[in-house]
Every structure is written in C-alpha cells, then in structure tokens.
A and B are shown apart, each in its own frame.
Chain A
C-alpha cells in the first residue's frame, strides 16, 4: 500500500492510491482561517455584536377559533408545552357558530415567540383562525374568592368598592364573585387579603377585540349565516 491517501476519482481500485490533495491533518485549523465579525442573537436575527440586544418578552392575548372536536384542547396545550411557550392562562368556550370554540391564551413571549405560537397553532388541523388580539382588546376574567367571615360588613364594603357580588355567605366564610381585567382583579385581591383569603378560583382572562375588528383573523359572526372560514 502506498501509505498516504485515497481520492474520489479513478478506476476501481484494489488498494488505496496516492492522493496529492491535503489530508485532514494537513489542512489549516480554525485559527488559521478568516472569520466574519458579525453575529446573530438567540432569535437568529443579525445584530451589532457591540450592542447586543436581546428581545424583551411581553404579554399578549391570542385568540383562536377552533373546531369543537375531541382532543382539540390536548393538541393546543401539547403544542404549548412541547415548544416551551410561556403561557399564563388558557380558556375555552363556545362561539356564535355551532361546532366552533374560542380558545383565549395569555402568553408572555418575545415578538418572535408570539409569531411562532400563532404559526404553530395555525398548523393544527382543528384551528380555523388564530391571531393576537389587538392591543386595546377588552379582556376580563371571573374570580371566586372565599374569605373568612369575621367582619361581614367590612367584606361587603370592599366587595362593593370593586363591583363584586356576594354569592355565598355563611358563619365561617363569605364567597365573593369578581370580574374585571387583570389589574382590577389584582387590586381587589390585595384589598381582600386582610380578611384572610381561604380559597381562590380564577378562570383566566378571556378577550374580544374592540369595535368592528374581528377577534380572530377573518372571523365572522354566526348570526350572519356565514360559517367562519379559514383565512387562507
């Protein structure tokens, strides 16, 4: 045997032939090569390497119209967990169209992350339409709050202050129902804290776009007799 190298050309060979080309050990190493100065950030966006800026995450409300079929919630929640999207809440409920449901998700993600959630959800077969609800969306959630009933009058006063409604009053506890956006709910819970909160159940926010803007892209009301359709 010749003892050095083989090539990619030539006739069928019984033994390796000499190769004039450089062997791996004869090829320049990384430090002997030029390297570009540019960089990308974690989102794959080209950046100025001197002022490296990471994208800030933000809170976004995503609304999806889905076919109301078995497993649709599992598909959506499985997608969210498998792709490690940061999700605050997820609610599901019927729409104006029979057989369709609305999923409302509140997520905490970068712009790229929000874009990915929308695109990945759109690929799920039962998802008819999905998009971020415009920034000034109407959002609201329902909270049931059970507090200790040591001072019913004070509980009642706080409840009135936050437009709450007493839905159960007993000798030991009072249960109040609150609705509102995240900030007013958080404020109310802070105010009830001094009575001693026993239990809380929150639905998580649900949302609609204001005015004539459809909440999910291309969404049409069922009352118009038109089924909501795929927006592509």
Chain B
C-alpha cells in the first residue's frame, strides 16, 4: 500500500475534524501537552485531559480512589452513575453522539465486573471507549485479595486491547495510548487496570503525547487497482444496491456515502447500526435490512447483482441464512478491518480502508452510472407493496408504533433516540424516520436490555457538552429493559438532564413472547411481565416527571408535556401486549422470504 503513503492521516484527527462541536478538545496542539504531575493518578488524569477527554462516567470505590481524588481539580466532568453498567453504557452512548471515545471508571472486583456488559456491548458495536478500573495493589494481585478480580483476564476477549498498568512513571502514557487506540482504525473499547500502588506512587513523569501503538492506525486508502476493478463492476451492474453499515457513521462518512449513492443513482439499504448514514426520507433509501428490516430492503439485498457494502461485518441478524444472502451479487466490501473481509460473506472486490476515503475513491473511479433505471423502479414497487404499516382496530389497545410516530412528529431531525433491546427497539428503528448520523443510539450486536436509560444519560451529556442543549433526547424502552437500569433515572434527576423516556409497556418481555407464539406453541414461560411496578409513580419518586398513557387521544398531549418538561420525564405507555414486530425474517431464513404478517411465519 505504499502508493498511498503520501497521504497519511490520523484516523482520530479525521473523525474529530468532521465533528463540528468537538474541535476544541481534539485540537492537536492542545492534545500534546500535559501539566506537571506528582502521582500516578495525576498522570492518568493529565493524560486524559491532554488526549481531549472532557467527560467521565463512573462509580467510586476503594481501589480507584486515588484516580478520583486526582479528578477533584480536573477539567474533566465526572458524572457519578448509580451502577457501573450504567457508566459503561453512558460512556458508550456519549462516544456515539460526540464522535470521540467515551470514558468510564469503576473500582476493582465488582466495579470492574459490572462494567463488563457495557464493555462487551461497545466491543460488539465497535464503539470507541476507554474503561479505567481500580485494582488491588500489585503485591496483592493473585492472592485473591478483597475486591480482586482478574479484570484484564475477564475483559481480554471483549476489548480491542487491555493493559495492566506497570508503574507510576508509565501509567499516564499507557492511559493515553489506550484512549487513542480505542478510536484508531476500527474503533473499540480498551481498558487499563490500575493497581492502587501504581496510582498512589509518586512520579514527576509528565505523560507524553498520546499515540496509538505501532501498527494499529491503518492506511485509510484502499488499493488503487482494487478500486478500479470495483468501479468497473459497479458500472456493469444492472441491480446495484448500497449497504451502509455502522462503519459509515463511525468514519463520519455520511456525506461521502450520500454523494456516492446519489451520483450514480444507486438504491441504499443500511444495517441497523448504519441507520442515519443515509436519510430515510430520500427516494433512494430503502431503510434498513435484516431480521426486522423493511421488506423492500430485504428484497433489494436479495435480488441485487452488485452489493456495495461499506463498514458492515455481515452479522447474522442482517444476513439471515448465509446460503441465501445476496446469492446473485458480486460483493464489493469496504472495511477498515481486513479481518472482516470474507469473514462471513465472500468479498469479490475487497477494499480495505476508511469508509469515507474509499467512498470518495469509488465516486472518483466510476465513469458511468450503472444502467439501473428498471431496478430503481422495481425497488419503488417493493416500497409500495411492502410498506411498514400496522393495523389499529377499535377493539385493540394503543399500538406502540403510533407512539413512536407521535414522538417523531413532535421532534426535530437532530433528536437523539436511544433504546433498550426488544420489540420497542425494533419499532423505534422502524417507525421513526432517521435522517442524520449519530441520532440512533442502540445496542445492536450484543442486544443488551437496559441500554436505553443510561445511554440517554450519556447522549444528553454529550449533546450538552457539544453546546447542543436544544436537541431532544428520547429513550424508547421496554418494560423489561426499563426495569433493568431505571436506577440511572436518579442520575438524570440529580444532573437535571433533559431526557424523555417512553416506556412501551406491554407487560411482556415482548420479543420472547412473540417468539413463543411463533415457535413455542404460545407457551409463555417466564415472559409474562404483569408484575411490573407503576412506572409513572416510580418516576415521580425519583423526582422525575411521571405520566401514564392508555389511549390514543392521550398520546399527543403527554408527548408534548414530556418534551416541554425541563428535566427527565417518563411516560408509561400501556400498549397492546399482543402486538408483534413485523416484517420478520425467521432466524437463519432467507431475507427475501420475510414474513409480512404473523400467519406467513
């Protein structure tokens, strides 16, 4: 790849540059200097400040106390969370919205293990995040000391890389490196385990400029010959379709993606993490493909003869059965991570590089738009035949999809939506029309119930930090998901965070109920959640605004009141417990054979 070496670039700089409100902390000049320090903990904080970290989410505890003490005089804002899992999810969501690594902190032992779900979540979704964990003093490590866990061992498979800090002199550099590594190339979580002696020990070593380790910051450009070959394949295609994944959003490549697709009239599907990379109200947009994606997106990726996949790892929830996935397509696969090439789906034209850079290369290399008029017409017919609709019979309770649409109508395009995991998540992704990147914040790969509320906290703090206090943050949650992490509502109240939580309460762990009805003869084992508390009253007890809605005519006023409320608001929407998420591709099935209705399963 030496032909492109004349244009090196730091991935980190690129993503920061295109993220409007983050110019101040990631200014290269400012990033390089750290002030004088006297302890390992001060060195940790100095390194974080120098790297541009502005916010941390965490929970105090014995082994991490020296680091917290060093935060006392820091410019970094620390948001104390109710639970470490919430800290990890908040940091993750903060990173998604702000476009820079999130930062979470916890003490050793249970503090660290409570972070694990959030770290695994960030790992599956390739989100840049740094976790700092306290550890027992080095001399006790291995002795099963109080609150000792092998944190490095536990988090090894769910981090991009993790570190055991070796000494006070080097800990600042290690933390700086871990911060930069989390966003270098393909982003992902990193962790530094901080033994208490390392952070307490004296040092006068000021951490140097933070850089990712050698070999972890890849060439952003794809091989020029490979780009030419891919361009010829695109020109010759009759049924081309783009598949934009989360990598497009992480690379801040939405503009390049839009330019490419529009320049050549190529219909666009996205993955779920790719939602927002291309405006869903654009005529070319077929919305997202996969298990509960639109019928037209699934038909397009099934019948295409040229799939231009950018920043996606071909997750099984996207592909359905591999045997029937885009079975007649030549696949052009753009990804920054070479290991994703041909991992799940064979790439006929592998293009390893940064999404934005390679899309620009492709836009420049394609000479003539493919002759795809008939194909676009066919996609349009599919849109008309398989629209996302839902029935609202008089004798059935409030439909959850209606609630999502009501919020969409009442809010601006820059509104951030967070979710838990389950049916409500699918409705929030289906019935909201996303037009901008970094507005859809969800747990995709890991599927973590309870992600929504702490993510809303992180998203709100990010927007406020970016000076975008006017943006709305709406969390769609399920009753099951909400009960898992609702304690973070107390943080939103304490910090006066303006978030709105819409609980689509169907008194079931609804996706499981739906599968039980479809595949387990309706035996509702452990999915029945009729024992839920009254969430509106609980919200009030936390000090938030609590509302309850049972009927259609109450929806709009409640939405209006909650959005207008300055501070956290919770609306407990009692929706139809029998409503199912459709369309649906059965697990391992063919995308083109999605069930549009229950009786087609």
Contact = CB atoms under 8 A, between A and B. Distances in A.
B532 interface: no
B322 A5 contact: no
Contact of A116 (B343, B386, B401, B592): B343
Contact of B157 (A16, A33, A40, A82): A82
A78 to B, nearest CB: 6
A16 B345 CA distance: 42
| Residue picked from B345, B346, B399, B410, most chain A C-beta under 10 Å | B346
B240 to A, nearest CB: 15
B36 interface: no
A77 to B, nearest CB: 11
B22 interface: no
A29 to B, nearest CB: 4
Contacts of B346: 40, 43-46
Contacts of A123: 337, 339
Interface in A1-47: 1-8, 11-16, 19, 21-25, 27-30, 33-46
Given A22-B385, A232-B219, A12 B156 contact: no
B594 interface: yes
Interface in B148-192: 152-153, 156-157, 160-161, 164, 181
A232 B314 CA distance: 25
Contacts of A21: 384, 387, 389
A59 interface: no
Contacts of A42: 322-323
Interface stretch (B106-114, B210-218, B434-442): B210-218
B299 A8 contact: no
A75 interface: yes
A120 B160 CA distance: 11
B389 A35 contact: no
B593 interface: yes
A44 B344 contact: yes
Contact of B323 (A22, A27, A40): A40
B135 to A, nearest CB: 14
B402 A30 contact: no
Contact of A27 (B181, B295, B339, B343): B295
A119 interface: yes
B419 to A, nearest CB: 19
B392 A38 contact: no
A35 B402 contact: no
A30 B586 CA distance: 12
B342 A4 contact: no
Contacts of A189: none
Interface stretch (B27-35, B52-60, B324-332): B324-332
Contacts of B387: 21-22
| Residue picked from A29, A30, A70, most chain B C-beta under 10 Å | A30
Contacts of B552: 1, 14-16
Given A15-B553, A116-B339, A30 B344 contact: no
B327 A40 contact: yes
Chain B contact-residue range equals 35 or more
B595 A6 contact: no
Contact of B152 (A1, A23, A71): A71
Contact of B394 (A1, A6, A25): A1
A33 B593 contact: yes
Contact of A30 (B181, B343, B600): B600
B568 interface: no
A33 B592 contact: yes
Contacts of B406: 12-13
A4 B392 contact: yes
Contacts of A6: 389-390, 392, 399, 401-402, 405
Given A21-B387, A36-B328, A78 B299 contact: no
Given A16-B392, A33-B593, A38 B327 contact: yes
A125 B215 CA distance: 8
Interface in A126-161: 128
B487 interface: no
A24 B218 contact: no
Contact of B556 (A13, A29, A116): A13
A29 B596 contact: yes
Interface in B548-601: 552-553, 555-556, 582-583, 590, 592-600
B374 interface: no
| Residue picked from B160, B339, B388, B594, most chain A C-beta under 10 Å | B339
Nearest to A230: B215
A74 interface: yes
A78 B156 contact: yes
A122 interface: yes
B393 interface: yes
A115 interface: yes
A88 to B, nearest CB: 22
A203 interface: no
B345 to A, nearest CB: 4
Given A14-B556, A16-B552, A21-B387, A29 B600 contact: yes
| Residue picked from A5, A27, A124, most chain B C-beta under 10 Å | A27
B412 interface: no
A112 interface: yes
A12 B410 contact: yes
Interface in B198-256: 213-216, 218-219
B385 A27 contact: yes
Given A23-B391, A71-B152, 9 more contacts: A6-B390, A22-B385, A27-B386, A30-B593, A30-B595, A35-B590, A42-B323, A44-B325, A78-B157
Interface of B: 1, 152-153, 156-157, 160-161, 164, 181, 213-216, 218-219, 295, 299, 302-303, 314, 322-325, 327-329, 337-339, 341-346, 384-394, 399, 401-402, 405-406, 409-410, 431, 433, 552-553, 555-556, 582-583, 590, 592-600
